[in-house]
Chain A
């Protein structure tokens, strides 16, 4: 395969490209789903191919192919070059790339048990036992999930970079669905939408204790069916880790993508309220709010050694004491803010170009201690747990989230359960109302495996480290 890469780089140079890179990638994916004690869905997939990206006459072209024979290489490079020449016809300014030191290196995410090599029977047994441990009179669906993503990638650029990476990502979780009287309630663990995900091996799922948590999850789903709806009003809310991770994702992670800020995504997912003039001056949140984009964070779903244009993984300050200080950037976009790339370019496969993607966009821990400490410090509020629904406008200002479960807080203690809880707000106001963030003891990494962006569409797996946090005066309860 080294030979294939070198040959591709040689062909790109011969074609007169001012820059080019090649990614040879092989993805092995496994997804298991068990329902009511029986395997419902078992699917394995293999995908291997080559993506060639070039700059010719100052403009980009990309072509990807699943054909890895040498004969297909010339055609692949020719296609990429032809596409770039067509782009150049409409080009006003030539693409300029921020400098990066070409590296020769190998990187592998740490893992103990290869998740795809663990026998299927062992994985299914764990999931079956987890679903069998969920019980309840209205329990309609007891589900358990496992996913593994194993990616090998070789990267070479005309600048001399030669990088080999092996990324292993694993995830799993359980969900109980109770239905009665036309109402449906779902309770999940450790997170909704198939669980939690991170870089690591099968040990990541084993540590979840899915079987041990299953009875509680089912009981809470039953309790939600009988619970009253969450009342409307301006309230103090505490978000648990899973919900807060998605709040960070939608209201911070996306608007700091510099391609969005520069209008490159405006026709699809949208642009950003965090315009360039706000860098280093805009008050994004309260002084409690410190956010970094950290691709070096051990175990994060957005952890890697190098981005997909050969830039080393980095830890980039984004929000310091509430002030916006950085963006996620690429080699092409970083010059717009006078900086070098933050190393955030990633592609979902060999058949897609790298885009600016979140790495691990983490809310740093504060001084509020554990979740129990924060609850004890709250006289009157709501604890909102585990995402159920999300939506946000195309500049990432107006959002609305729904959570699976909500608990009343009175005089520092948890009280009644509420169902169908929602909250809504505007991003800077919401983060400006953050008055407490829990400490390291409550800080946890959450994986978001379904981050969509780009055309053609790409799904990225990204991470968010958060500790539960408290927000004052938030609008709760939106009814249809």
Chain B
């Protein structure tokens, strides 16, 4: 088979092809300004449950997002194709949208080209992973769980893709990446446990470890006892911490809500918004996350301090929001122009502490150990109040020891305030799918407002 029929075998060639395609579209555009974002990739996902693969899928997908500007009127159109007809239709559609729109007096122009340093995020063997490879990985997870009499369900996923951005402001960047993710929910009678992993390379994920770790928690979480709702100290494992942080990113760290005055940090940069032990940042370039060199406007990714020592320091912006906030350039967090959310941090980090996860539990007089949360949603964005359930392993801790599993509880909590009550964090940071790199933490006085039956 020719290389052109299997473009994923040569990501560099694909980057050149997408860039050339985008730049040609920009050159041929009759708009005042034109930006073209092109993506091409493949995704494979194997799902297993009850000892078998019940869903097993693959797709090859392409996407084009065309943004044009006519006399400060902006139009956006997208197509899931890189064929000439589809791209031309998208450009025509974007022009029609711009013509029907109204001039935006605040339109700052498309962002100019800035230097982008490459990052390493492509693993060839992961890009070429076969269905059989994924099936073998799933079988290993299932086998590891069964060694502890557990039944595993979960996924094995391998993706690869290329993103290119070209614009009339001189932007011309391209990047290829791979991504592997696996997880297991293991049930053991009425107990359940969870483990997951995400990496650039599938070889960095350990099927046996994922299966064993989830099974161990499942075994321990059997025969959960009811516990009254109330206020408890908690040790949150990194998956639970990441769920809070990712929701916080949505409500608090996006430049659009911030600038519109409806974010919890609106008007509060430079102020103390949580405890001094809380330091959060975003850094798409860090090798500990899934690295990306630039955002969807082709602007360089860079470290952005969100909260340092409890003080709010920044929010994520695209070019438009940066200018409205009086900044010359964005923070490099633009979403595609087709997204109304505009900009959010997507590679979060939280500073760890000095403890081990065991110490966090060992130093707790009475409280809960929470593996992860489920179905978290926002109750009050301005107050960062979230609600959600615990899931797959919730334990009562007394005098520094796990005494038994408890039925899952509902928390309802002001998360910024709760983070301010952290009195211990693990030294080790864990990369959680999202991605988010977070420690385990111990939080005093988390409010649990309800309990379920399992």
Please indicate the chain B residues that have their CB under 8 angstroms from the CB of A402 in the complex. Answer: 379
The reply on B126 being an interface residue by CB < 8 A is no
In the assembled complex, the Cα of A61 lies from the Cα of B61 at a distance in Å of 17
The reply on A389 being an interface residue by CB < 8 A is yes
The B-contacting residues of A in range 396-423, CB under 8 angstroms, are: 397-398, 400, 402, 420, 422
The reply on B84 being an interface residue by CB < 8 A is no
The binding surface of chain B is classed by DSSP as strand
Given contacts A82-B131, A391-B376, contact A92 B49 (CB under 8 A): no
Please indicate the chain B residues that have their CB under 8 angstroms from the CB of A268 in the complex. Answer: 155
The reply on A11 being an interface residue by CB < 8 A is no
A34 to chain B, nearest CB (A): 10
B266 to chain A, nearest CB (A): 9
Interface-lining segment among B93-101, B234-242, B356-364? B93-101
Given contacts A177-B262, A267-B153, A389-B387, contact A47 B80 (CB under 8 A): yes
Please indicate the chain B residues that have their CB under 8 angstroms from the CB of A267 in the complex. Answer: 47, 49, 153-155, 183-185
When the two chains form the complex, which single residue of A46, A398, A420, A455 contacts B78, counting CB atoms closer than 8 Å?
A46
The answer to whether B449 and A400 have CB atoms under 8 Å apart is yes
The reply on A392 being an interface residue by CB < 8 A is yes
The answer to whether B53 and A121 have CB atoms under 8 Å apart is no
Nearest B residue (CB) for A29: B78
When the two chains form the complex, which single residue of A41, A43, A75, A263 contacts B5, counting CB atoms closer than 8 Å?
A75
The answer to whether A478 and B57 have CB atoms under 8 Å apart is no
Given contacts A89-B132, A393-B408, contact A140 B79 (CB under 8 A): no
The answer to whether A42 and B57 have CB atoms under 8 Å apart is no
The reply on B109 being an interface residue by CB < 8 A is no
The reply on B380 being an interface residue by CB < 8 A is yes
B139 to chain A, nearest CB (A): 6
Given contacts A42-B76, A267-B184, contact A120 B379 (CB under 8 A): no
The reply on A462 being an interface residue by CB < 8 A is no
The answer to whether B382 and A182 have CB atoms under 8 Å apart is yes
Number of chain B residues whose Cβ lies closer than 8 Å to a Cβ of chain A: 87
The reply on A371 being an interface residue by CB < 8 A is no
Given contacts A44-B77, A121-B100, A394-B391, contact A455 B378 (CB under 8 A): no
In the assembled complex, the Cα of A92 lies from the Cα of B54 at a distance in Å of 11
When the two chains form the complex, which single residue of B48, B77, B134 contacts A45, counting CB atoms closer than 8 Å?
B77
The reply on A375 being an interface residue by CB < 8 A is no
Given contacts A66-B60, A66-B81, contact A90 B139 (CB under 8 A): yes
How does the 8 Å CB contact mask read for B262-293 relative to A, with 1 for contact and 0 for none? 10000000000000000000000000000000
Nearest B residue (CB) for A422: B379
The reply on A395 being an interface residue by CB < 8 A is yes
Please indicate the chain B residues that have their CB under 8 angstroms from the CB of A82 in the complex. Answer: 130-131
The answer to whether A263 and B57 have CB atoms under 8 Å apart is no
A321 to chain B, nearest CB (A): 24
Q: Which 9 A-B pairs have the closest CB atoms?
A: A86-B131, A398-B452, A120-B100, A47-B80, A267-B185, A45-B78, A267-B153, A64-B59, A87-B53
Taking Cβ atoms with an 8 Å cutoff, the residues of A that contact B are 31, 33, 38-49, 59-67, 71, 75, 79-80, 82-87, 89-93, 119-121, 124, 140-141, 177, 179, 182-184, 262-264, 266-268, 270, 273, 351-353, 388-395, 397-398, 400, 402, 420, 422, 424, 426, 455-456, 478-480
Given contacts A90-B139, A390-B377, 7 further A-B contacts (CB under 8 A): A61-B131, A86-B53, A120-B96, A263-B49, A267-B184, A393-B375, A394-B374
